[in-house]
Structure 1
Amino acid sequence: MAEASTLQDRYRACLILSGAGDALGYNKGDWEFEQNAEKIHKEVAKMGGLAKLDVKQFPLSDDTIMHLATAEALAEMDKDAPLEQLYGALVKKYISCMGDMHGRAPGLTCMSSTHLLQMNPEGDWKIPFNQRAGGCGGAMRAMCVGLRFPSPEQEHHLVAVSVESGRMTHHHPTGYLGALAAALFTAFAIRGQPPVEAWGHRLMQVLTKAKEYVREAGHCVNKNMEHWNYFEKSWEKYLETRGILDGTGKPQFPEPYGVAEREQFYSSVSFKGTGGASGHDAPMIAYDGLLRAGDSWTELANHTFFHGGDSDSTAAIAAAWWGALYGFHNVPPKNYQGLEYYSRLSDVADKLYQLRE
């Protein structure tokens, strides 16, 4: 990672670049779920390329609004506050942020689930199991959990908070385990844990802890266990494909691995052909792009911002991890300075930095 990037810089970059990735991948809704990736890349080129994209012209989507809600709830809680108190704060933030969704394309599951939360008694964060809640709405907003609980000694808190925050709207393992992956890889990135290609192997180990947690939490256990394997098996297959299931060696990519080849691959790992729309494949595509890009912001964007499918969610996740690793290293200022809610993102990053231990 760039030597000039202090840990505090990387905290800020994690949240700010996540927002930038979201905004660029969303492009006012024109690129999110656009299935023709070649069209997106041609439009980026017509605009002068990534370095010329002025983020002032790209509003945030629902992803960053909900990520801010998570981050601000985490930042406002006292270090020693019980997790139940944090969960109550998260509920309030998620309900409140729904008032800032005009033009941001909030997901139907997030909207319907926050309505359920609103009807709960105050402090109750639990909603029923939902067989249709395997989308990426829990994952796209959980990266900051890894900023709050970055150390190995805090892993039990990271597991609990990512799972519970995720299933406040996405009460299905495919949904909330995406939140776990997003948070866990952020923690790995912020503590500079190498090598990146070993992160997937470590996720498979932490999934065992998450399974134990869900069983011990006692909420809809049978339904959760019944639907548990899809996320785990999907990631196992992906890591095998890249040759890094055991956490050793370098990831194996086909050559060429251009736009068409990536689109075919992203579709193949998705739930129903829309790359990045589910809790398992949004962090998976983000991770794939991170492995391929190294410290190149441009390559990260090409792989995770500008693709057919749920491009703003994969962008938000991948850019958060990249920022946590590399700070603002070689990122064109136009891509993030002037971002909507820049100050809020920077301020909450500083607060999470202070709370990290």
Structure 2
Amino acid sequence: MEKFKAAMLLGSVGDALGYGNVCRENSALGSVQEELQKVGGLDHLVLSPGKWPVSDNTIMHMATAEALTTDYWCLDDLYREMVRCYVETIEKLPEHQPDPATVEGCSQLKPDNYLLAWHTPFSEKGSGFGAATKAMCIGMRYWEPARLETLVEVSIECGRMTHNHPTGFLGSLCTALFASYAVQGKPLVQWGRDMLRAVPLAEGYCKRTIRHTAGGICTPLTQSLLPPCLSLYQPVSQRSQESSKLSPGGHWARGGASLSQDCPPALGSATMSPTTGRSCSTQLPGLGGRGGVQRSCDLPALQAQGQWGPCGGEQVPRCRATWPSTLSKAIVLAAHRMAPATLLCLRLEYQEHWFYFEAKWQFYLEERKISDDTENRAHFPDNYGSAEERDKTYKKWSSEGRGGRRGHDAPMIAYDALLAAGSSWAELCHRAMFHREYQEHWFYFEAKWQFYLEERKISDDTENRAHFPDNYGSAEERDKTYKKWSSEGRGGRRGHDAPMIAYDALLAAGSSWAELCHRAMFHRGESGATGTIAGCLFGLLHGLDAVPRGLYQELQHRARLEELGTALHRRSSEEK
């Protein structure tokens, strides 16, 4: 229990020192090193709240720990509690100059939405360190090897609540795993390679839940693909009310999360799969929902109408090939319903764009041989099972070389995937949702860590001692190395290199707290982030014995941090 308390305290100490280092670098106060010389070194430094405040790294880590120590019934309840804690916490963060990515991520959370509270869209800005710095307590809560799958799931969900980007939320997996390894007593040199072995578990979980690319924008045209008989909610008025509640903007299928995410949303081409995936999943609740079970739809009535029938033991719609004719009628109807003043503005350019949409769809229907009412079976090329071939086709349909980027081809790719996939959810995912860009982000994290382990000569199970360059004792040389590991020239800025720098510092420092500080808290990158991670892990490994009392005696939030450490230790023995 003492090491759990030490971990929470020293994570905050590392944050205060690292955050103070960054603040002093950017002000006229002088460097931390100058201040240490004035007071006589780390042994005599006192971290008072007024002079050495903690940053949002500590506040968000505490919020995660608060949720983990509640009496939740199931993991979904835990996630709802995390959302509540994060949203409440974000209101306190302005005084701590929070990371913009964390603020943006929290703004996507919906604590009042029971179904979709933690379902946030994919974010290109979500690759930062914020997910990694708030997840160590997850590894403390689920430290036992038998609970690895739970640790993976919770750390991924926790990470992508605020940083829904592989580089971001894999950082939370990394720090949670490192914390669990520390509690298990696993040799430090093994942590990196064991973490990489766990990454496929995370990838499998993400593919099963298929929500990580459910961002993007669905145009209103996606709803035109849904036959009127397949309503998500029985009365139309109620459907509109309910869908408005589920959409953060109050508009069904327009940006942010939609009901499509109630079913595992969809992800799969080298294209705009967040958009095409959502288009597919918007249709899926009506077509089958979870497990192919029709929701809120009178199946016997549909069978009587000849619109549903058996296929492979399941009930599937027979009317998909006729949807585009409904779409064409809707386009004409939309034009007629436009206000006269608007119609006067239909200049040549506008009319050309209008024609472009219709022409693209007409070409598509002819390509699939379903443009005529007598044609009721879509035809696909022989090699269309190849993802590479599909990507070429999606690119061809696009107006700018990126499939699914525009309002005509996003629903087109979704529709094409539905036609080809039938009742197979897995096939739908491969065709509409698994995109190359996302996989590249995922590979980037693994590749960076593999290069690091090879650089330190600890990538193989037979290698049990990290190797460092001869001049690595120089702060200047370390900064060059940290910068090299970074994706943007500032060490520790992203989800892959913040834990990497902390881990590197732990390997080099051994049991020396002072050496750890010089390597993880006092550098020219995001030293607050790396300091938070390194300090927490040091506490789990070595406790408080080697740490001067002045660093934590007056520490901001000290009492609550100790309480959370105690509660995490108690909860870690429970089965939930």
TM-score past 0.5 threshold = yes
Amino acid across the alignment from 2:81: A
- Is 1:278 matched with 2:494? yes
Matching of residue 250 in structure 1 with residue 465 in structure 2: yes
| Partner Cα distance (1:355, 1:25) in 2 | 30
Q: Which residue matches 1:24?
A: 17
* Secondary structure, aligned partner of 2:555: coil
Cα separation, 1, equivalents of 2:199 and 2:34 = 39
**Amino acid in structure 2 at the alignment position of 1:245:** S
**1:47-75 per-position Cα deviation (integer Å, ceiling 9, x unaligned):** 42222221113111000000000000000
What does residue range 282-321 of structure 1 map to in structure 2 within 5 Å? 282-321=498-537
Q: How large is the RMSD of aligned CA atoms in angstroms?
A: 1.8
- How is 1:93-242 mapped onto 2 (pairs within 5 angstroms)? 93-118=85-110, 121-123=113-115, 124-193=117-186, 195-219=187-211, 220=213, 221=267, 222-223=434-435, 224-242=438-456
1:179 CA displacement: 0.3
Write the distance in 2 (CA, Å) between the matches of 1:86 and 1:154.
16
In structure 2, C-alpha distance between the alignment counterparts of 1:45 and 1:55, rounded to whole Å:
15
Write the letter of the residue equivalent to 1:155: L
- Deviation, structure 1 residue 107: 1.0
Question: TM-score, normalised to structure 2's length?
Answer: 0.58
* Deviation beyond 4 Å, 4+ runs, structure 1: none
**3-state DSSP class of the match of 1:30?**
helix
Would the aligned equivalents of 2:87 and 2:111 in 1 still touch at CA under 8 Å?
Answer: no
- After the TM superposition, which of the residue ranges 137-146 and 53-62 deviates more from structure 2? 53-62
Question: Which residue of structure 2 aligns with residue 48 of structure 1?
Answer: 40
1:341 matched to 2:554? The reply is no
Counterpart amino acid of 1:263?
D
Tell me which moved more, 82-91 or 246-255: 246-255
Q: What amino acid is the match of 1:240?
A: E
Which one is further off, 110-119 or 92-101? Answer: 110-119
Question: Residue 262 of structure 2 corresponds to which residue in structure 1?
Answer: none
Whole-angstrom CA distance in 1 between matches of 2:54 and 2:502: 18
Q: Which amino acid aligns with 2:64?
A: T
Q: Give the deviation of 1:39 after TM superposition.
A: 4.7
Instruction: State the alpha-carbon separation in 2 of the partners of residues 117 and 152 from structure 1.
Output: 31
In the TM superposition, what is the alpha-carbon distance from 1:207 to its structure 2 partner? 0.6
In structure 2, C-alpha distance between the alignment counterparts of 1:43 and 1:266, rounded to whole Å: 24
Asked if 1 retains the 8 angstrom alpha-carbon contact of 2:143 and 2:184, the reply is: yes
Task: Report the CA distance between 1:275 and its aligned residue.
Answer: 0.4
After alignment, is 294-303 or 212-221 more displaced? Answer: 212-221
Cα deviation, 1:269-309, whole Å, max 9, x if unaligned, reads: 00101000100000000000000011110011000000001
1:249 to partner: Cα distance: 2.3
Q: Is the 8 A contact 1:64 1:141 kept in 2?
A: yes
Q: Aligned partner of 1:170: which letter? A: H
AA partner of residue 97 (structure 1): T
Q: Structure 2: how far apart are the matches of 1:135 and 1:180?
A: 13
> Aligned partners of 2:110 and 2:202: how far apart in 1?
27
Change beyond 3 A, Cα 1:119–1:352: closer
> Higher helix proportion, which one?
1
Offset, 1:28: 8.0
Letter in structure 2 aligned against 1:251 = A
Greater relative contact order (CA < 8 Å, ≥ 6 in sequence): 1
Runs of 5+ in structure 1 lacking a partner?
Answer: 1-7
Q: Secondary structure at the match of 1:76?
A: coil
- Equivalent residue number for residue 313 of structure 2: none
- d(CA) in 2 for partners of 1:324, 1:185: 10
* Aligned counterpart for 2:65 among listed residues 66, 71, 74: 71
How far does residue 29 in structure 1 lie from its aligned partner after superposition? 5.2
1:200-233 Cα deviation digits (max 9, x unpaired) = 0101100111111111111124254342101000
The residue type paired with residue 234 of structure 1 is K
Q: Is the 8 A contact 2:21 2:32 kept in 1?
A: no
Farther-moved stretch of structure 1 (286-295 vs 102-111)? 102-111
Moved more, 49-58 or 235-244: 49-58
Q: What residue in structure 2 maps to residue 323 of structure 1?
A: 539
SS at match of 1:163: helix
2:126, 2:168 within 8 Å by CA — same for their partners in 1? yes
Identify which of 82, 85, 90 aligns with 2:74: 82
Question: Which segment is superposed worse, 242-251 or 289-298?
Answer: 242-251
Partner deviation per Cα, 1:154-193 (whole Å, 9 max, x = no partner):
1101100111100001000000000011100001111211
- In structure 2, the gaps of 5 or more residues are 214-266, 268-433
Q: Secondary structure at the match of 2:534?
A: helix
